[in-house]
Amino acid sequence: MTSVEALTAIEPGSPAELEAFANLQARLAPMYRRIFSDRQAPRTVVVVPSLSLDLEVQAKITGVTHYEERMLCLLMLLRLPRTHLVYVTSQPVHPAVIDYYLHLLPGVPARHARERLTLLDCADGSPLALTDKILDRPRLVSRMIEVIGDPMSAHLTCFNATSRERTLAVQLGIPLYACDPSLSRLGSKSGARQLLRKSGITIPEGSEGMRDLDDLVGAITELRSGDRSLNAVVIKLDDGFSGEGNALFRFDGAPDTALGEWVRRTLPERILFEAAGESMDPYLEKLARMGGVVEAFVDGPDKRSPSVQCRINPVGEVEVISTHDQALGGPNGQVFLGASFPADGEYRHDLHRMALDVGRRLAALGVLGRFGVDFISTRAADGTWMHNALEINLRKGGTTLPFMMLEFLTDGAYDLERGEYLTAAGQPRSYVASDNVESPFYRGMTPDDLIDLAVYNGLHFEASSQAGVVFHLMGALSRYGKLGLVAIGEDLITADQIYRETLSVLDREAGTATTGRSPPDWRHSA
């Protein structure tokens, strides 16, 4: 039996797989030191952009199969002249989308980059996670091994890491540049609250480890009994995604006595779910399966939703990558819609400090790769900001990918001291980004149509000015009327103008002056 056959024959989840995975992960630090800082070093990056989430959670996301396209920003790695990229999807990506990204590459001919890009797909549009589809296709795994070449200079990257990504890494014989799935609980809603509490960072009052209706009633009653001014609580599924697993319960009309009985009686009829079509019994089934939290709803006259993104590299160093102010929507303002970068200057450095504290604790526990910390921030009467940390995401997210695109396009970096991004020429850049630009009027518009209207209307990103619009999720446009975009400008005001102009052009080209949809209320830095 060859070494490849031996790896693919290992039973998923077995002690043998865990040992093989640990041995592969041990390669990352030496590879990082040898390769990552050398632009000329040969390497292979295998991208599997699987949303390995609960299938019922996935089903709530419009056009979810096309979210595999969000990591196409990693095609920008082909600017490194000896880098080979293997990108695997459920179904073929529209050729116009691939051409679009390759022509964004700075300083590399598209033909040269295309020769170093291998696109593979499963020819499977089912709702299963991409990683499961790959593992169900041994011939595809063999093809991936064949095109990887030297496994000693290759690694696997993904959207989020589960036991399935661990199995795939072992079968491919390459390390996974992501958090070890055995540590995934640290990124659950319950696990994050526990770690944040240990880090000394303020979190909303609440309880973890919810599993059933009795747990919810007890936790909700306790919160309200301890604070009669509390207006509402938020219930969150431990493995919910983008706010779709959240629900709100308000205390309007709550009695002063027999509170627990009132909560039990009214919860099923008064609970407000973020996900469309959700109901109490299926929600409780998910809660029993994955767990959840109940926490006090933080409110105030001036409330923001900032986040900070970090990276723990293979040698254990913690880096702050970016800060954002997030735009939230949905029925109760819990669903991620987009973000503006950087976060408000009044609290950027507060975010840096708290994220570094969290990052050092995560690194000590063995966490690797990108993570984000989300906050709710309210302005106090004296003008200062009070921050409550809400969750830790041990994966790439909605604010990760726009920043990666900015970084690849302009070859700059986040200046931690200034709290802003500087291009290679030392010029600041900001952006407004969204994964949820959506209208029924956009249905039927193809990626080619979108690219044409961007060019005709002067919205296309220009390398000379290092400003303009970059689109993503283009595959979801024709069927779902949905796409994502990153509007890059020299400051937030300019980026916001570009963003709004783009929406105006899309509406006009779709044949309607207004779609009844307003752009998110982006909060500008002072």
3-state secondary structure 331-352: CCCCEEEEEEECCCCCCHHHHH
What pLDDT is attached to residue 330? 77
What pLDDT is attached to residue 276? 81
Answer yes or no: are the C-beta atoms of 156 and 175 closer than 8 Å: yes
From the list 320, 486, 478, the residue with the least C-alpha distance to 403 is 486
From the list 325, 324, 323, the residue with the least C-alpha distance to 304 is 325
What pLDDT is attached to residue 512? 61
Q: DSSP labels for 374-409?
A: EEEEEE-TTS-EEEEEEEEE-S--TTHHHHHHHHHH
What is the maximum alpha-carbon separation in the chain? 73
Sheet strands (E) in 135-227: 154-158, 206-210
Residues 6+ apart with CB under 8 A from 265: none
Residues 6+ apart with CB under 8 A from 32: 313, 314, 315
From the list 148, 43, 33, 39, the residue with the least C-alpha distance to 86 is 148
d(CA 17, CA 265): 48
Q: Is 419 left (phi over 0), alpha (psi -120 to 50) or beta?
A: left
d(CA 498, CA 485): 11
**Parallel, antiparallel, or unpaired: how do β-strands 420-422 and 413-415 relate?**
antiparallel
CA atoms within 13 A on the CB side of 8: 18
Residue 48 DSSP SS3: strand
What pLDDT is attached to residue 515? 41
Angle at 367 between CA 323 and CA 305, to 5 degrees: 25
What pLDDT is attached to residue 131? 96
Instruction: List per-block mean pLDDT (blocks of 10 residues) for the chain, which spans 526 residues.
Output: 65 94 97 94 96 71 83 94 97 95 90 96 93 96 96 95 96 96 94 94 96 97 95 93 86 94 95 90 94 94 93 96 90 84 95 96 95 95 94 87 92 93 95 92 93 90 93 93 95 95 91 49 40
What pLDDT is attached to residue 2? 52
Q: Within 10 A of 116 (CB to CB), how many other CB atoms are there?
A: 17
Answer yes or no: are the C-beta atoms of 191 and 103 closer than 8 Å: no
What pLDDT is attached to residue 459? 87
Answer yes or no: are the C-beta atoms of 321 and 311 closer than 8 Å: yes
